[in-house]
Amino acid sequence: MNTTPFTNTTRDGQVPGVNPDATTDYFLVTDYNQDKNYLHSKIIDALKLISSSPSENFQILYGGIVSDSGDGKIDISEGAAFGKDEDGNFRIIQIPQLTNISLPNDWNDDRQIWVIGKFSAKLGSASRQHFNGTEYIYQLLDSYTGEQNTNDLFVESDPSDTAVVWGSFQMDGSSFTPLTGRSSEWKINSTDSNRKEAIDYSKQIGELFDLDHKKPINFSFDPESPRSYFPAIRLSSIDVEEVISSPTYPSAFIEHLRNQKLEYLSGESGEVSSWSVTVSGSNITFPNSISSIAILTALAEDETIHGTYTNWRTVNINGTDYSITNINLVTRIVTVSGSPASGSQTAIFYPHRIAGSSTTAREFEVSGMTTIAANDPDGYFILGLRTRGFMQGHWHNTYYCNNSTGGALNRMYGSNNYTGATIFDKNEANGEIGSPATDGTNGTPLTRKVTHGPAVSGHKYKWCGGL
């Protein structure tokens, strides 16, 4: 806390026995100087408190770069710093851009030279008439040591903790050699985590987003390189599945994954996230309801993509997580490893949990997949689960000849509801099915292994937040 006193102009008690005592207030010229010291030191105290070097009294805020001007002279860029004046009082120091500055005589002999910054003041130009008839200058302007005489910018011994050092160099004739020794540059205190927290909270934990490049994952914040900090997981690089555990990933992210539930109509008035089930041994029978059928169907689709029940999803029965080992969509029976409490129970699906662990979670491969909004009317898209590409169910129009004219390959016969029609496999002789063809209006159909719309590829990430 700043301990520099300031003038008592706002509180009673200045003159004992007088209350209020404003009519008897009196101040000295030194009170003004004391108040100026107070204001400057208060500002600099605040800058030091949020600095990465709070104990350093001389720090450069910006600029003040010392460089070679040629012909044995130097340039100094515009800059600012905080330091002290000749009397040791804290001050903000500013220096304008200076060019072609000559060194003191004979200092171009390869000695080390320091360029210093100190606060100074100079008389302004405004004047007043004093009551005794004399005229006086009544304004001061901020200045810096060296404005009146540039030789004062330079010292030939290390100023240590007495002045700001804009830079240090040697001049051998006209040969300029920069040296170390510049005062530290003011930076936000990295331990205060202001910049780190700003990045951490720039997205919500679990937020999905894409980038047009593969950005390295980095949970270690470096104030010198804040853009390298990237607390996320690259989902598009996961091969089948990945266990999420600390200390690699933040505990808040792991907790977020473990708390995720499968929900039917998530966030809507008809939301369902738990089901009354009947347990017998390792078999869990779900009710014959729209919500449970939708969830089980979506889970079965996700398992098809995963390719196995191993290291897959879990269901929670009576507070315990169990690994799912089979789903029968006809009987609506989910089989698990282990034997939950029998009888009527409540089932909740936590798709990222790992059975037997309370501190880890699991993410799954999503390469080649797009994100689709959940809560479609048919319940195909359940929040957090994957689905393959599907084509809309449809029929094909066919053309046929209703007489026996022409050869066998030119005729197709059908009768009531296709009764008696011969169905050919696409590979059977005389029954080859043709490739999709243009309808003459919409161009040639494009075919591929999966169905998808127009797309641009990128890497898919999920935000984890900081450690």
Going by the DSSP 8-state scheme, the letter that residue 436 receives in this structure is P
Q: What is the pLDDT of residue 188?
A: 78
Phi, psi of 81 (to 5 degrees): -155, 170
Mean pLDDT calculated for residue range 137-155: 92
In whole angstroms, give the CA distance from residue 239 to residue 277.
34
Q: Show Cβ contacts of residue 65 under 8 Å, excluding neighbours closer than 6 positions.
A: 76, 77, 79, 166, 167
For the entire predicted model, the pTM comes to 0.58
Cα torsion 379, 384, 390, 393 to 10°: value is 0
Q: Which residue has the tokens 């205060």?
A: 192
Query: 80 forms bridges with which residues in the sheet?
Result: 62, 94
Tokens found for residue 151:
């030789």
Classify burial at 434, counting beta carbons within 10 Å of its beta carbon; exposed 0-12, middle 13-18, buried 19 or more: exposed
Lowest mean pLDDT among 25-39, 363-377, 388-402: 388-402
Mean pLDDT calculated for residue range 395-420: 51
pLDDT of 386 strictly over 70: yes
pLDDT of 3 strictly over 70: no
pLDDT band at residue 51 using 50, 70 and 90 as cut-offs: confident
Residue 340: is the preceding peptide bond cis (ω within 30°)?
A: no
Classify burial at 425, counting beta carbons within 10 Å of its beta carbon; exposed 0-12, middle 13-18, buried 19 or more: exposed
Mean pLDDT calculated for residue range 50-64: 92
Which position has the higher pLDDT, 104 or 425?
Answer: 104
How many alpha carbons lie under 13 Å from residue 461 in its C-beta half-sphere? 22
Task: State pLDDT tens for residues 156-189.
Answer: 999 978 999 999 999 999 999 999 889 999 987 7
- Between the ranges 49-58, 188-197, 401-410, where is the mean pLDDT highest? 49-58
- The C-alpha angle 12, 13, 14, rounded to 5 degrees, equals 100
What percent of the chain clears pLDDT 70, i.e. is strictly above it? 85
**Is the CB of residue 53 less than 8 Å from the CB of residue 184?**
yes
Q: If you average pLDDT over every residue of the chain, what do you get? A: 87
Lowest mean pLDDT among 27-31, 144-148, 206-210: 27-31
In whole angstroms, give the CA distance from residue 132 to residue 130.
5
**What is each CA distance from 406 to 207, 409, 411, 414, in whole angstroms?**
65, 8, 7, 16
pLDDT band at residue 198 using 50, 70 and 90 as cut-offs: confident
Task: Give the SS3 label for residue 345.
Answer: strand
**Is the CB of residue 63 less than 8 Å from the CB of residue 78?**
yes
Lowest mean pLDDT among 129-133, 241-245, 303-307: 129-133
In whole angstroms, give the CA distance from residue 268 to residue 379.
13
In whole angstroms, give the CA distance from residue 156 to residue 171.
12
Task: State pLDDT tens for residues 292-332.
Answer: 999 999 999 999 999 999 999 999 999 999 999 999 999 99
pLDDT of 415 strictly over 70: no
Question: In this structure, how many other beta carbons lie within 10 angstroms of the beta carbon of residue 384?
Answer: 20
Contacts 24+ apart (CB under 8 A), 137-142: 142/94
**Is the CB of residue 251 less than 8 Å from the CB of residue 374?**
no
Task: State pLDDT tens for residues 10-46.
Answer: 565 566 666 655 555 666 777 778 888 899 999 999 9
**Is the CB of residue 143 less than 8 Å from the CB of residue 93?**
no
Mean pLDDT calculated for residue range 129-150: 89
In whole angstroms, give the CA distance from residue 440 to residue 455.
25
**Is the CB of residue 346 less than 8 Å from the CB of residue 262?**
no
Q: What is the pLDDT of residue 419?
A: 47
Tokens found for residue 6:
């300031």
Task: Give the SS3 label for residue 368.
Answer: coil
Full 3-state SS string of 387-410: CCCCCCCCCCCCCCCCCCCCCHHH
